[in-house]
Structure 1
């Protein structure tokens, strides 16, 4: 056994001065224990199975009890550098509640700084106070909302052709595409919000009419669709018939070949049963 390690808890754990912990199996073999850093109490812990239940132990307390004398019988173990992940014996000390509170106050005083935006005191690691973070978050949300609104406006007027608009309509649409409200557009153009609303509705209605086909055009379109469907079906049918006919021809040719092999004298007979012209005797 090395002087920098000790076996504790009736031979179930082996702790080292560098903060590592090993579990000792029944056969005597050792395996490094999984150390969990608890977020709630800010301590590193290990667990053991006891009577069918998991029991959790604080790593800092296990190492302190193994290597650090406690003549005053102080109840708590603290981290000298404030880092609960550093369980090296040199980073641990026995302490009281009052000593912990005093140390926490000193730590907060050292950490306290001025917000880089408003100058208010803050303990934030990034140097930005909570109020300023909330303002930044709201500003980001406002920017994103503006981007989404512009995207919706662009989609709404996507089919509008500026060449089809009057001068006033074109100016109104351009300002709306920049994200201006109806009130802002009306203020610039010297008219009411209702006037702007009516003008933009007229633009959209005109655009919709231009994109809507007439009855004759739609009838011709539907007729072409029906004819195309029929032609495709006919082509599929003819293709299928062609394949069937080709297979039937192959079967008939095989029958003829077999017949002529069996009856060579019939080889020059035509389908009517008479001899073919090339076989007539002179």
Structure 2
């Protein structure tokens, strides 16, 4: 990890002389002089406190009322992008670690194939079944009642393993993102889980402008 004393600052493109970003992931407003009709004001600069996006989990800051993700500001200022790759990957899969050495330009497929993210995916919700106590409660609730065929199907479905879902670019067929479940895909993208599921099952072609499929 870089020594904090070695922090390097660069102007943000389009905001030169007003805002700067550092190789450590900080963003600051510079000291500036404001000329008014009858006076001149000296305004001291400050380091901006980033917000945290509820949907994507990335840090962001507002520059003159326009929002930018911090990792993109860092990458644009410090990382060369010879191949014009559109995405930025957090190498250690921590979305709030915006140090330049933790970032790399990548394609959608490279972003989804980050080995750390993939390992976390395998160890997370995938393969988690309902607990025995939960199943017992459901059985107890139905005890003495006639269970219909539909109810049996629903219980069987609920006991199946959670399946991860792939979000795919409709034109390039590249994987853009991998979600732990239909529920997470719905929360992040705003696409209804039933529609995503129908695309995965071949009943619909797209949802939200994307193709979808269950991960094998």
Normalising by structure 2, we get a TM-score of 0.49
Q: Which has the higher strand share?
A: 2
Q: Which has the higher helix share?
A: 1
| Structure with larger RCO (C-alpha < 8 A, sep 6+) | 2
| The structure with more radius of gyration | 1
